[in-house]
Amino acid sequence: MKIVVTGGAGYIGSHTCVELLENGYDVIVIDNLSNSSFEALRRVEEITGKKVEFHNVDIRDKSSLSGIFKLLSETLLPLSLKDNTAVIHFAGLKAVGESVSFPLEYYNNNITGTINLLEVMKEYGVKNLVFSSSATVYGNPHTLPIKENFPLSVTNPYGRTKLMIEEILKDLHLSDPSWNIALLRYFNPVGAHKSGKIGEDPFGIPNNLFPYIAQVAVGRLPFLNIFGNDYHTEYNREDGTGVRDFIHVSDLAVGHIKALPKLFTNCGVVTYNLGTGKGHSVIELVSAFEKASGVEIPFKIAPRRAGDIAACYADPSKAEKELGWKATRTVDDMCRDTWNWQKNNPNGFRL
């Protein structure tokens, strides 16, 4: 079985490539390296001892995309593409704040890119897709934990691209029920592969909590700003800092492996939360990271960050029931693996 992985050189994509290769899938990565490094894929090969077919292509470049699927159809002959391939679609821009400043870039990259991809998939009869959606589509939920049938709302262009793509995919399936699509809504992916060879390597100052803490720990940044300790909801009882469902990226990667066979059961459009079901506060995370690394993380309490919600965590029971998937790694595992990656690669993939 051949799996086309768009955005496969990125953070979640590279960890998913490891799991795919270790589960016997052939992997074809399409990535324009706009937010990643080829070195990540070299290390995926090092970890697994297997080859990755790589195309340095922008998914908005339709003729190059078409060329990749043409080659794929020729190499698979006499097998059909429909029954022997699937696409996992990670490629996209993902920084919430940047999307507010540059909405057109986000709509162009994420929406136009996805439509191009879908058109080429349709042309070649590849109708099995796993899409990287996000818990951001739930907006600010009224109660927790979040179930897949909660109301959807978004507050920024990034989130809107995710919600729009979900809607586009539902329309596509309505028009042609032979499409099978898994919408995976990730909560807060963190951590790194246990080998310490691949991990999150954001370009510039990190936007997200975990890479920020890791860069403070390794001395690249002086201290952490904690955005608000005055969230006084029933879910923020401990210390008033934000609460999130942090999920180990390797658990998330396994979620994709579990979703693939579902596509071949003629499932139509299915939606799953990929989270642990547990909320942890920012302060709890800082303490866990200090314990795992033995390094003190200096922090200052700063004002709340615009657009942040107080608390968010998943009800992941649908994925467990229907896919047989459950996150197994703890917050301590997430901290240990992030630290192992960061201390061995203080400058990420840049040697």
Residues near ligand NAD (CB under 6 A): 7, 9-13, 31-36, 58-60, 90-94, 109, 113, 132, 134, 186, 189
Sheet of 85-89: strand order equals 53-56, 26-31, 2-6, 85-89, 128-134, 180-186, 269-274
Residue 158: active-site member:
yes
Q: How far is 16 from 82, CA to CA, in rounded Å?
A: 22
| Cα-based angle 10, 248, 180 (whole degrees, multiple of 5) | 65
143: exposed, middle or buried (C-beta count within 10 Å: 0-12, 13-18, 19+)? Answer: exposed
Distance CA 29, CA 173 (A): 25
193 belongs to the binding site for ligand WQD (CB under 6 A): no
In the bound state, the residue with its beta carbon closest to ligand NAD is 10
- Give the Cα separation of 34 and 40 in Å (integer): 13
Measured torsion, CA atoms of residues 112, 117, 120, 125, in degrees rounded to the nearest 10: -140
For ligand WQD, what does the binding mask look like between residues 196 and 215, x meaning CB under 6 A?
-----------xxx--x---
The entry of ligand WQD, ligand NAD, none that residue 282 binds, CB within 5 to 8 Å by partner kind: ligand WQD
Span between the terminal Cα atoms of the chain, in Å: 34
Interface segment toward ligand WQD; rule CB under 6 A; list 171-179, 223-231, 266-274, 324-332: 223-231
Question: Least CB distance from residue 242 to ligand WQD, whole Å?
Answer: 2
Catalytic residue among 11, 25, 107, 158: 158
Question: How far apart are CB 107 and ligand NAD at their closest, in Å?
Answer: 12
199 binds, among ligand WQD, ligand NAD, none (CB under 5 to 8 A by kind): none
How many angstroms separate the CA atoms of 346 and 351, rounded? 9
Please calculate the CA angle 131-249-18 and round it to the nearest 5 degrees.
80
Q: What's the token pair of residue 70?
A: 């043409």
Rule CB under 6 A: is residue 244 a binding residue for ligand WQD? Answer: yes
Tell me how far, at minimum, the Cβ of 282 lies from ligand WQD, in Å.
Answer: 5
Interaction partner, residue 33 (ligand NAD, ligand WQD, none; CB < 5-8 Å by kind): ligand NAD
Q: Which does 50 bind (CB under 5 to 8 A by kind): ligand WQD, ligand NAD, none?
A: none
The interface partner of residue 270, options being ligand WQD, ligand NAD, none and the CB cut-off 5 to 8 Å by kind, is none
Query: Residues 133 to 172: which contact ligand WQD by CB under 6 A?
Result: 134, 136
Q: What is the DSSP letter of 112?
A: I
CB of 152 to ligand NAD, least distance (A): 14
343 closest CA partner among 287, 277, 292, 267: 292
- Is 54 or 187 the residue whose CB approaches ligand WQD more closely? 187
* Residue placing its CB nearer to ligand WQD in the complex, 54 or 138: 138
Which candidate, 200, 164, 165, 177, places its Cα nearest to that of 12? 200
Residue 117 or 312 having the CB closest to ligand WQD: 312
**Where in the sequence numbering do the catalytic residues fall?**
158
Residues lying near ligand WQD in the complex (CB under 6 A): 94, 96, 134, 136, 188, 207-209, 212, 224-227, 242, 244, 282, 305, 308
